[in-house]
Amino acid sequence: MAVKVTPTFVIEDLDAIELYGNLTLTGNYPAGGDTVDFTGSVGYQSPNGRIFAPAGPPIAGSGSVVGSCGDSFALVAGNALNNSKLIINTASNTPEGTGAYGAELLADANINFSIIFPKG
């Protein structure tokens, strides 16, 4: 099941748009990481008035994710808005096992991300 993306802020400069938000995990963690789909965030208007309107998929290597459960996260940019991957390592630095998310991940309401997109 895809990760739920809730945008919270947008910053833009001359060349790029940075999207900030929260991730919510549900269901099962699949082999190779869970899918993160940013298409539902297009058109989001930030409190600063900026609107999320990327010109393409995320810029590789630009994503970061932090949570409060002690696990570590990597946000790997996809080649489209709908196919980035969230990779999780447990607090003991081993890959998250395939299957149902652990209670600590499901309860973590502080999984925050930022990722950069090209500006049109």
Cα angle 8-11-14, degrees, rounded to a multiple of 5? 160
CB 49 within 8 A of CB 58: no
Alpha helices by DSSP H, 1-120: 103-106
pTM, entire model: 0.94
CB 2 within 8 A of CB 30: no
How many structural domains comprise the chain? 1
Q: What is the pLDDT of residues 18-58, one digit of tens each?
A: 999 999 999 999 999 999 999 999 999 999 999 999 999 99
Domain extent for 8: 4-118
What is the structure's pLDDT at 1? 60
What is the structure's pLDDT at 120? 78
Q: Is the pLDDT of residue 7 over 90?
A: yes
Q: What is the pLDDT of residues 94-115, one digit of tens each?
A: 899 999 998 989 999 999 999 9
